[in-house]
Structure 1
Amino acid sequence: MPIDFHAEKNRDTYAKREANASWSELLRGLFPVQGLQVADIGCGGGIYSKALADMGAAQVTGVDFSEEMLTAARVNCAEFSHVKFVQGNALATGLPDGVADVVLERALTHHLPQRDLAACFAEARRILKPGGVLLVQNRTPEDCLLPGSETHLRGYFLEKYPRLRDREVGRRHDSRTMNEALQEAGFADVTEQNVWETRRVYATGDELRNDLLARTGRSILHELNDSELADLVDYIVDKLPPQEIVEQDRWTIWSAR
């Protein structure tokens, strides 16, 4: 059953880890946020809102359609007085015109049908200041279909349960679709790159096992029942060496001005 983002039981699923330092370094290379106003659209539990604040953003505004996610995000970022959260969605954030120097949309667009992509990006363009930048991070079908390895654990999800392949690829937009939607929304200067982001480092296989069994931050795992998930975890852990595990995911990032 797909994840219910509005259910209280799932409130913390996108709030229980820290953004890896590799992501912050990547973002600094794309567009430093020091002293800037940033909008984090589809912020979930505030993991990346918190990272943006740590990077020196002057103000971070997280927007999500789920009040349960926002409840977790407010707790997650309680130490930051310059981080706030509002309920809205990618097509209607509720934010004023020209309020942000940077708009981040990470792991958002796969929740939108293709017909809504241009509207999503047009809303981002509306809230950007002149000269501002939109950063979109998500996986293309090609990113998803890379084989499993000691670092790319997601590849094992589809290897173990091939039915997840159609589900995963079917909700992802390819590079051409994303670029066309950005151009339709009025962005002329668009660049694209593939990156590997370290998702999390696990000291032991048991630590990884517990994270997977909790379905932490992985909506695709909600497609499996408890028995299937347990079998998947055994399948993955058996393939890994008995030492520190560095989990990485391949992403595509579009930068649009």
Structure 2
Amino acid sequence: MSIDFHAPKNRDTYSSRRADSGWREAMGRWVDPAGLRVIDLGCGGGIYTEGWAELGAGHVVGVDFSETILEAAREKTKEFPEISYHCSDACQTALPDESADIVFSRALLHHVKNSQDFFHEAYRLLAPGGVCIIQNRTLADVTVPGSADHLRGFFFEAFPKLLAFEQNRRPADEQVRKEMRQSGFTQVTSHQLWEVRRTYQRWVELERDLGNRTGRSLLHELTDQELRQLINYIHQKIEGREPIHEQDRWTVWVGVKG
């Protein structure tokens, strides 16, 4: 019962929050986007498309294969004239060659069928000297133990089958670096990033987010009954810990088009 990204009921699942200031600070360590052209591959509801605009990018194109989710993205970022959207496959965007100074992708790579095709497309889209930034979770990232700050770890404690699911789709650090170099990228590096996903002032806010599976495709692998069990499990683990500053650990790969 994997998520259907085209279903109207999932229209707003990736547009209900903003990129945290810590994320914006982290991106600034690797690139200064002021006045530059950014392509956000797999942009979903425009959370990070908006983030790049807030960082001063001159023009940001959000690319996603779901027109349904792009509708929510357009609504979310309507106050940003420098943002536009394009509905297409991230591996075959049909956007012009060398039309970006920065290609960014967050939480997409594990959904891509052929990662080498994805990196070839990112390389094609970048102008010489452009920077590719890929943010995703490795298996090491998702297996960090659960805590009041790292709720995702509780998913696997409660339902080990979710970890088995992740093992089949999470990219390995070494493999990503290898494929980026094979696609032509140079100066390829990888970094760990703890990103605040969201701060919940009260448990009921988090309970609602979990119950709606908001922005968490992994939870679509659970039945409604299993999801309720997970919510109860997490509540027992963090009861009384409010506000809840939910964080996730990511790996970020950075490469340059020579």
TM interval, shorter chain, is: over 0.9
1:74 aligned partner? 74
2:156 aligned partner? 158
Determine which of 202, 208, 211 is the counterpart of 2:206: 208
Inter-partner Cα distance in structure 2 for 1:17 and 1:221: 18
Matched residue type, 2:67: E
Matched residue type, 2:164: D
Indicate whether 1:44 and 2:35 are aligned: no
Determine which of 101, 115, 121 is the counterpart of 1:123: 121
Matched residue type, 1:29: R
Inter-partner Cα distance in structure 1 for 2:191 and 2:228: 35
Indicate whether 1:248 and 2:250 are aligned: no
Unaligned regions of 5+ residues in structure 1, if any? none
1:53 aligned partner? 53
SS of structure 1 residue aligned to 2:165: helix
SS of structure 1 residue aligned to 2:16: coil
Confirm or deny: 8 A CA contact 1:195 1:251 kept in the other structure.
Answer: yes
Inter-partner Cα distance in structure 2 for 1:110 and 1:29: 25
SS of structure 1 residue aligned to 2:61: strand
2:184 aligned partner? 186
Q: 1:241: Cα distance to partner?
A: 4.4
Q: 1:221: Cα distance to partner?
A: 0.4
1:219 aligned partner? 217
Confirm or deny: 8 A CA contact 1:102 1:132 kept in the other structure.
Answer: yes
Matched residue type, 1:244: P
Determine which of 193, 196, 212 is the counterpart of 2:194: 196
Confirm or deny: 8 A CA contact 1:153 1:236 kept in the other structure.
Answer: yes
1:32 aligned partner? 32
1:99-178 equivalences under 5 Å are: 99-113=99-113, 116-178=114-176
Q: 1:226: Cα distance to partner?
A: 1.1
Confirm or deny: 8 A CA contact 1:144 1:169 kept in the other structure.
Answer: no
Task: Percent identity, please.
Answer: 47
Inter-partner Cα distance in structure 2 for 1:183 and 1:69: 32
Matched residue type, 2:2: P
Inter-partner Cα distance in structure 1 for 2:90 and 2:174: 20
Q: 1:188: Cα distance to partner?
A: 2.0
Inter-partner Cα distance in structure 1 for 2:58 and 2:20: 21
Inter-partner Cα distance in structure 1 for 2:76 and 2:130: 27
* Cα deviation 1:212-231 (Å, max 9, x = unaligned): 11101000000111111111
Matched residue type, 1:56: G
Inter-partner Cα distance in structure 2 for 1:251 and 1:99: 27
SS of structure 2 residue aligned to 1:13: coil
Inter-partner Cα distance in structure 2 for 1:241 and 1:226: 22
Q: 1:169: Cα distance to partner?
A: 2.0
Unaligned regions of 5+ residues in structure 2, if any? none
SS of structure 1 residue aligned to 2:34: coil
1:62 aligned partner? 62
SS of structure 2 residue aligned to 1:104: strand
Inter-partner Cα distance in structure 2 for 1:186 and 1:129: 13
* Cα deviation 1:111-164 (Å, max 9, x = unaligned): 023xx1121111111111110000000000111111101111000000000111
Confirm or deny: 8 A CA contact 1:90 1:120 kept in the other structure.
Answer: yes
Q: TM-score, normalised by structure 2?
A: 0.97
